[in-house]
Every structure is written in C-alpha cells, then in structure tokens.
Amino acid sequence: MELDVQGRNLLSLLVARLDKAVPGRPETYIGYKKCHDLLGLDQQREKWGESLKPQGLSALADWTEANGFPGITGLIISLSTLEPGKGYFHLFGKEEGDYDWWAEQIRSAKSFDWSPYLAEKFDLVPSDLEAPDREDISISRIIRDTALSYRVKLIHGYECQLCGIALSMPAGKKYAEVHHIKPLGQPHDGPDVIENMICVCPNHHAQLDYGAIKLRADDIRTKQEHQISDQFIDYHNESIYKP
C-alpha cells in the first residue's frame, strides 16, 4: 500500500513533532486545526477532525495499520477532549480509551525510522566558491532538512522571516532555508536549538552567513510556536555582522 502525497506531508509534520511529544501526555501532542495551519490546508468540513480525514489523516492511518507501523496518527487529538478520534482505536482493533496502548504507540513512533517514507525534501550542494588573492579553496554548504529545521519551515509555511518570500518549486512545492543565527561550527559553537534558528530565503541566508545585514527583533516575522532568543540575535549583531 502506497502513501499518497497528502498522507506523506502529514507524516512528515508528525515526525517533526515527535521530539516534543511525551507518551501518555496528550497536552504535548497536536490539534486538528494546528495540522491544517502548518500544512496550509483549507477547512473542508464543519469539524476540524472531519476536515483532516480526506486531506491525509485517513490515508496515513490506513497506511500505518496496513504495514504494521506504529500508530503515529495518535499524535493528533481534539484539544477539547485531549484524545484522538474514536476511529483511531477501532482501526487497530482496540477499545476506546485504551490509554496504555495509545501511549505505547507514541513511544514506538518516537523510536521508529520514518525517514524512508517522509515527503521529498531538497538536498542541495551549491557550486564551489573562489576567493581571489588567496589560496584556492572549496566551500560546500549542504542544505538538508533535519527534523528540527523542517519543523521551523512548516511553522512559517516556508516563508522568509525577514521578507515574507516563499520560493515556488516544481510540483507545488515551496523552498526555504534555515539559518543558525549563532553558527554551529567553530569558533562560534552555537546550539542546534529552535531558538537559534530562523527561516529565510536563500538571499537573506547568504547575507546572514557573511554578516552583510543586522538583525532587528522588530523586523523578524514570528509565530507563537517559534520564538527566537534575543541572545542569539545579539550574538549575530556583535560577532557576525560587519557594518
């Protein structure tokens, strides 16, 4: 059984949320409306749960059950009841309210390797750069989506937090990059945490890398789910930015 595009996109979203999900604590899971917001889906039915079913939820749930995979769709809950829909338990032949089994499914989902089944991502290696009047060097920046950077892109709908641009790609895809404000490598040794990340277009990514622009908190487009720490903004302005 193949997973369709919408199911694969929903799976990618849920996998990106697994790091914050605590088995048995549904308050750390995600609501139906939030799935719509992060995936850019329209509300097609009166209830958010019913709207999500034809837009990836049913396909993903059936696919996991058919393949014997962990029931990762248990991450999606009603915020009023803090439970998944009744169909979640029934699909796997379980009684409603089997919370121990539900928690075990989330625990298994956190340790399962979902990478072969995630939505296609862009892995790019730009051309080598040459530095005039210096020894020849080769610089490669490989742009890959880790679960955390992918989550940042989803939160912002692949729109640059500095200019609002989202680059359109073939097959309806969008493209953006995630920049670590305090760089990860030496001598900066910045942390790989969401508070140190900003979703940007390639132009602004290059300008940030080379210290061509200053960061101002008031100019950064923010979302409630993603807050950038002032300490990393200050570090960029003091140690990276070159007036």
pLDDT at 135 over 60: no
Q: What is the mean pLDDT of the chain?
A: 86
pLDDT band at 85 (very low <50, low <70, confident <90, very high): very high
Separation of alpha carbons 176 and 158, rounded Å: 5
Separation of alpha carbons 84 and 118, rounded Å: 22
Same domain membership, residue 107 and residue 151: no
Same domain membership, residue 80 and residue 15: yes
Same domain membership, residue 151 and residue 88: no
pLDDT at 203 over 50: yes
Structural domain contains residue 26? yes
What does each C-alpha distance from 212 to 37, 204, 218 come to in angstroms? 33, 9, 18
Structural domain contains residue 122? no
Same domain membership, residue 80 and residue 175: no
Percent of the chain with pLDDT over 90: 63
The per-residue pLDDT for range 163-202, each reduced to its tens digit, is 999 898 876 778 899 999 999 878 998 998 999 999 999 9
For 134-198, the DSSP string reads S--------B---HHHHHHHHHTTT--TTT---EE-GGG-EE-EEEESS-SSTTT----SGGGEE
What does each C-alpha distance from 189 to 71, 118, 185, 214, 232 come to in angstroms? 37, 30, 5, 20, 12
**Residue 78 DSSP symbol:** B
Structural domain contains residue 142? no
**Mean pLDDT within 22-26:** 95
Structural domain contains residue 119? no
Same domain membership, residue 96 and residue 151: no
Helices (H) and strands (E) counted in the chain, each on its own, are 9, 6
Domain final residue, candidates 68, 97, 113: 113
What does each C-alpha distance from 127 to 141, 161, 166, 199 come to in angstroms? 9, 25, 22, 22
Structural domain contains residue 58? yes
Structural domain contains residue 123? no
Q: How many CA atoms lie within 13 A of 43 on its CB side?
A: 9
**Mean pLDDT within 136-152:** 59
pLDDT at 51 over 90: yes
Location of structure tokens 């019913």: 50
Same domain membership, residue 19 and residue 96: yes
Same domain membership, residue 172 and residue 86: no
Same domain membership, residue 104 and residue 21: yes
Single-letter amino acid, residue 72: I
**Mean pLDDT within 114-132:** 52
Same domain membership, residue 34 and residue 107: yes
Structural domain contains residue 133? no
pLDDT for 107 equals 97
The range of the structural domain enclosing residue 161 comes to 147-240
Structural domain contains residue 138? no
Q: Is 75 within 8 Å of 83 (Cβ atoms)?
A: no
Domain final residue, candidates 113, 138, 169: 113
Task: Provide the pairing of β-strand 177-180 with 76-77.
Answer: unpaired
Same domain membership, residue 9 and residue 107: yes
206's CB contacts (< 8 A; 6+ apart) are 212
The domain total for the chain is 2
Same domain membership, residue 40 and residue 108: yes
Separation of alpha carbons 49 and 111, rounded Å: 26
Same domain membership, residue 105 and residue 29: yes
